[in-house]
């Protein structure tokens, strides 16, 4: 699916995957009762954008500012959630929710799986600076992303390369990749024993913002929230770095179309100009048994030494 089609439909719908019951089905039901979509943001969302950033135990969702209190009250009424209060014994600030600047942070009263989200952070769309009623969204399979997968495949750095050289994140199994290597798609989206947020049979979908909408929101946080919301500001810098790294946004063929679509393109252009990619090396022991390391550019097959090809 090309970018024009994405803009027309508003999201990309993945194929349902049969699995176990979702632990957040009741959250989907409450949002549906308010005619409200489930819009995932934060660390969990960026993994569906192809970024290999670490998951936390905080699920962050966006709520319209005029619906925020009503949704929170309905969740609390189920007695599965409570208002999160800082643990007085947590003197080192290890609780990630204490560093979250969301409008409301709820904590599960009990969890059945140790890998479940323990907290639910409710962000008002006004505070997050992301208009829910106008942003383009992408449908994703779940809130839990066991491995980084790029669902909005139009931003894959290698998807349409004429020379067939593959690098970058894996894409959703439904994404058609001509002459793709086995590594282009994951073997599975979900794994036994790990939690699911949404049951495969649940009628209500889960969305994330599309990449450019999300980046514009992160850039707003960078400009305005360093002192007002320092927890959010710190996390956005990490997310911005990871999205740039794993989507290769500093490369010309990624950067130019990105800047055209961004509202805050000047900030992003300066950021990408300063971005320094972590170096990558290939290693071997040569004919004399000596260790040899060669720095390569994974997007450029011509940067690989000749022995990489002869050893295949």
Extents of the domains making up the chain: 3-211, 280-310
Looking at residue 7, its pLDDT comes to 40
Tokens encoding 233: 């500001």
d(CA 63, CA 123): 6
Looking at residue 120, its pLDDT comes to 95
Collapsing DSSP to helix, strand or coil, 204 comes out as coil
d(CA 165, CA 158): 7
* Residue 138 near residue 229, CB atoms below 8 Å: no
Tokens encoding 172: 């959703």
Collapsing DSSP to helix, strand or coil, 285 comes out as strand
Looking at residue 113, its pLDDT comes to 82
From the number of C-beta atoms within 10 Å of its C-beta (0-12, 13-18, 19+), residue 264 rates as middle
Looking at residue 110, its pLDDT comes to 87
Nearest CA among 135, 123, 89 for reference residue 263: 135
User: What are the average pLDDT values for consecutive 10-residue runs of the chain, which has 312 residues?
Assistant: 40 45 93 97 95 87 97 96 74 57 92 87 96 93 92 91 86 83 86 88 95 96 93 91 96 96 96 95 86 92 87 56
Looking at residue 93, its pLDDT comes to 53
Looking at residue 97, its pLDDT comes to 58
d(CA 208, CA 46): 8
Strand partners, 38: 206
């Amino acid at each position: 699916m090309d970018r024009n089609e994405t803009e027309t439909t508003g999201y990309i719908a993945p194929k349902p995957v049969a699995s176990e019951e979702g632990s957040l089905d009741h959250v989907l039901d409450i949002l549906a009762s308010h005619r409200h979509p489930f819009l995932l943001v934060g660390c969990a969302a960026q993994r569906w954008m192809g970024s290999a950033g670490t998951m936390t135990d905080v699920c962050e969702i966006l709520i319209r500012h005029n619906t925020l209190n009503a949704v929170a009250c309905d969740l609390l009424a189920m007695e599965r959630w409570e208002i999160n209060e800082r643990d007085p014994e947590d003197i080192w600030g290890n609780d990630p929710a204490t560093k979250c600047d969301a409008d409301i942070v709820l904590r599960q009263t009990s969890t059945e799986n140790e890998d479940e989200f323990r907290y639910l952070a409710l962000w008002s769309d006004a505070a997050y600076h992301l208009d829910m009623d106008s942003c383009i969204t992408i449908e994703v399979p779940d809130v839990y992303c066991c491995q980084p997968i790029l669902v909005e495949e139009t931003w894959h750095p290698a998807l349409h390369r004429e020379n067939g050289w593959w690098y970058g994140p894996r894409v959703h199994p439904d994404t058609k990749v001509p002459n793709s290597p086995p590594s282009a798609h994951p073997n599975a989206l979900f794994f036994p024993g790990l939690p699911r947020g949404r049951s495969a049979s649940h009628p209500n979908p889960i969305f994330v913002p599309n990449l450019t909408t999300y980046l514009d929101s992160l850039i707003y946080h960078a400009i305005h929230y360093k002192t007002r919301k320092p927890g959010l500001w710190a996390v956005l810098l990490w997310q911005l770095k990871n999205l740039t790294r794993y989507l290769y946004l500093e490369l010309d063929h990624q950067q130019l179309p990105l800047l055209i679509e961004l509202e805050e393109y000047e900030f992003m252009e300066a950021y990408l100009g300063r971005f320094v990619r972590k170096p990558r090396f290939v290693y071997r022991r040569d004919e004399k048994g000596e260790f040899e390391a060669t720095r390569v550019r994974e997007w450029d097959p011509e940067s690989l030494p000749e022995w990489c090809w002869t050893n295949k």
